[in-house]
Structure 1
């Protein structure tokens, strides 16, 4: 049974630069690095659910893993999609998919960028996610 998102792994040729870029994007430092002195892996906990994002030195990527954008796109809910997209572009990301509305005006809007390390980062305004995380607890 699927229980929820556990860890998103991204890859980078320059792990230190990727760590620093994502620390700037998220506004926090990674809480874990292994090994500590010369990391091959760093990990952040982000958002309301403290979701894990691990960044791995590309030398440890699975065989055949693309060095460029590709694969699935995980979309993070953001409250200000346009502002978040603008900030990512200012920090050196490039547009991958433009702002796109889905669902006949139901409020589902996505965009994605390629980070400076070749990974796709999706962002989304998602009314379903927002309703789940702002619902009043049951009495």
Structure 2
């Protein structure tokens, strides 16, 4: 069911400051920015050999209130059908964290809390598939 890492999301009250800081840490600028009301509500970096995505999201869009301690990251794994994967995880004992939401063409996310208290994200991510298709395969 899980096919690979797509996006790691972090939340920040000040997305502009977080984008500057991560730009410095990573040595690259965000390749994508989505403003709402004139300020960045979401920025995304592509990182590493497989261009894995690190997204910074305005805290006001967090699916639940942020705890007073460190946390808030959701790691998404690519799946071919988010709704089916979400329902299967629920049937195996997970509870809904965030129901499937279309984030834009080719991008759908959802997350569950596993029976052990961990947040597991699933995502249909067209970028993941594009990278996968462009990666040479070993010859058998």
Question: TM-score, normalising length from structure 1?
Answer: 0.49
Which structure has the highest strand share of the two? 2
TM-score by length of 2: 0.49
